[in-house]
Amino acid sequence: MRRSGRPPVGPPLPRRAIVWFLPAEVSGEVEAFRALHDPTARAAAAHVALVSPFASPLSSVQVAAHVRRVASRWPVLPVEFAGSDAFEARFVYLRMTRGWQALSELHDQLYRGVLAPFLRHGFRWELHLTIGVADDVDACNAMLAHAAAALRQPVVATIASLCIVTLRRDGRVERGAEIPLGAA
C-alpha cells in the first residue's frame, strides 16, 4: 500500500479563549441590549476577551496552569465601561474608561509563555465589551444612537477571576476553569 505523504487528518484542535464575564448583578441592561443587537448573545454572556480564540494542542490543564501562574500575581481589578463606539462600522462596543492600563498589562502577561505563539501581530487590539454587530454603516449608526439612549449609566464592576472557555463547532461557548486573581 502506498502512502500519500500527508499527515493523518485528526479531529480539529480545540479553540479556547480567556475571558472575563460581566457579573450578573451589573449585566442586566447590557444583556437586554445584546439580546436585540448581538447574534452571539445566546451563546455567551457579556465578556471581555483577554486572549482571543486560539486553536491549540495544549490541554485544558496546561492552559489553566499558565493562566493560574499569571493570575496569581494580580489583585482584583476595578473596571468601568461608559459610552459606546464602533470598530469597522460593524462591531459596536462599550468603551473601557477605568482599569484599561492594568487590564492591558494582564492581557500582555497572558500572551507570554505557552500562549506567546497565539498573539496576533499587526492586529489592533483594544479592551472592549461587544454589545452589537451591525450589517452596514446605517445600522451601525442607529445601534450607536440606541446604545447612547439605552446604556446611559456607566457599568462598574470588579474583575476577580478569569474564565477559560472552549468554542464549540456548533457555536456554543463552554465555560471551563474559573481562575481567581490574586490566589497564589
Structure confidence by residue, pLDDT tens digits, 87-142: 999 999 999 999 999 999 999 999 999 999 999 887 777 788 999 999 999 999 99
The CATH code of domain 15-180 reads 3.90.1140.10
Q: What is the pTM of this model?
A: 0.88
Task: Give the side-chain half-sphere CA count within 13 A for 169.
Answer: 4
Structure confidence by residue, pLDDT tens digits, 132-154: 999 999 999 999 999 999 999 99
Look at the block and give the residue holding cell 439605552. Answer: 150
What average pLDDT does this structure show over 63-88?
Answer: 95
Does an H or E element contain 48, and which? strand 47-55
Structure confidence by residue, pLDDT tens digits, 25-64: 999 999 999 999 999 999 999 999 999 999 999 999 999 9
CA dist 163 → 7, 59, 95, 154 (Å): 33, 15, 21, 23
Please report the pLDDT score of residue 28 as a whole number: 93
Task: Give the side-chain half-sphere CA count within 13 A for 22.
Answer: 25
Extents of the domains making up the chain: 15-180
The rounded Cα 40 to chain-centroid distance in angstroms is 12
Look at the block and give the residue holding cell 505563539. Answer: 117
